Amino acid sequence: MRLQESPEQIPEGETPHTLTLVVYDDLVDVAKPGDRVDITGVFRAAPTRVNPRVRTLRATYKTCILLPI
């Protein structure tokens, strides 16, 4: 599922931010394209690795929202 920032909440001329959501169980097929939803969860940022075998981390982060069960 792709979550996009509401157009009314962003300044003119800016592109809305988007976030990819992965939903499971009861949340699948609940929302349809164009629906407005409120998401409550923990926003988590994890650093990405240059190579899985090397401990070096990039300056970019992979983000996700952890939803309570």
The percentage of the chain sitting over the pLDDT mark of 90, rounded to a whole number, equals 0
Q: Which of 13, 43, 15 is nearest to 4 (CA)?
A: 15
Dist. CA 35–CA 20, nearest whole Å: 15
> For 8-18, what is the mean pLDDT?
86
Domain spans of the chain, in order of start:
2-66
> For 44-66, what is the mean pLDDT?
80
> For 30-40, what is the mean pLDDT?
86
As to burial, measured by CB atoms within 10 angstroms (0-12 exposed, 13-18 middle, 19+ buried), residue 67 is middle
Dist. CA 48–CA 55, nearest whole Å: 10
Q: What is the pTM of this model?
A: 0.55
